[in-house]
Amino acid sequence: YEQQQSMWENKTQSVPQRIVSLTQPHIRPIVRGKAGKPIEFGAKLSVSCVDNYVFLDKISWENFNESCHLKEQVEKYKETFGYYPESVHVDKIYRTRENRNWCKERGIRISGPKLGRPPKNVSEEEKKQAHSDECFRNAIEGKFGQAKRRFSLNLVMTKLPETSITSIAITFLVVNLSKLLRQFLSLFLSLFTNNRTGKLIKPPFINFDYTLNNFYVLKLIDLSENSWSKVA
């Protein structure tokens, strides 16, 4: 009523923080420009994916520019793993001049074509690198699809902003636990095969070296004592 009264008195057609839902007044309209859905309602997420593990970096009910948070996400990566990533695979909106220069100063390769007019001649190595980067970036799109199809990310029914944020965070937690469970299963099958046959047989779906190294990087296992008794 206060918003409607304000528009009537000021003879305007808009009002700041306009309520679009009486049951969820914190929801804001987010203009996306998609066919059939030009405006979306709900939380906007900024996530990163490292070795198929998802990190929820920012969640907000307001519309924000994702490119402004690239530096913060990379710094969080360094804080977690102790070093900057070798490369960052991002969407077109992240490839601003400021972000490119910031990554270049830190020796980080950012995916995508360079700014300016595209070159006439592109080497086969550059084409192969661009294709590899695009395939690598598809992992984060697949995580969103997995969270929506299997873990009901698109069916958040909570009303309060705090409970909605908790529900979204738990969804990504379960996505990571599902990935971790598959890796433990791969490690168990590798150890079981090694003990039963006396040699390590690697089926196509088991990569023993990658799984073991991933556990070590994520600090789930301690290899310094040649013992796996410290698996978290």
* pLDDT tens track for 107-158: 999 988 877 787 777 788 888 888 888 888 888 888 888 899 999 888 888 8
CATH classification for the domain delimited by 26-113+123-188+211-222, as one of 3.30.420, 2.130.10, 2.60.40, 1.10.3470: 3.30.420
Q: Does the pLDDT of residue 41 top 80, yes or no?
A: yes
Q: Does the pLDDT of residue 203 top 80, yes or no?
A: no
Contact (CB, 8 A) for 32 and 40 = yes
**Residue 204: predicted pLDDT:** 46
Q: Does the pLDDT of residue 228 top 80, yes or no?
A: no
**Residue 194: predicted pLDDT:** 58
**Residue 210: predicted pLDDT:** 58
Confidence of residue 166 (pLDDT cuts 50, 70, 90): very high
Which amino acid, residue 105? E
Coil vs helix vs strand at 76? helix
Domain assignments of the chain as residue spans, ordered by start: 26-113+123-188+211-222
Token pair for 14 = 């808009």
**Residue 231: predicted pLDDT:** 41
Confidence of residue 98 (pLDDT cuts 50, 70, 90): very high
CB count, 10 Å around CB of 187?
A: 19
Contact (CB, 8 A) for 63 and 85 = no
State the average pLDDT for the chain.
Answer: 81
CB count, 10 Å around CB of 148?
A: 13
**Residue 209: predicted pLDDT:** 61
Contact (CB, 8 A) for 187 and 215 = yes
Return the percentage of the chain with pLDDT > 90, whole number.
Answer: 19
Of residues 216 and 102, which shows the higher confidence score? 102
- HEC sequence for the chain: CHHHHHHHHHCCCCCCCCCCCCCCCCCCEEEEEECCEEEEECCEEEEEEECCEEEEEEEECCCCCHHHHHHHHHHHHHHHHCCCCCEECCCHHHCCHHHHHHHHHCCCEECCCCCCCCCCCCCHHHHHHHHHHHHHHHHHHHHHHHHHHCCCHHHCCCCCHHHHHHHHHHHHHHHHHHHHHHHHHHHHHHHHHHHHHCCCCCCCCCCHHHHHHHHHHCCCCCCCCCCCCCCC
Distance CA 110, CA 126 (A): 13
Q: Strands of the chain (E only): list them.
A: 29-34, 37-41, 44-50, 53-60, 87-88, 109-110
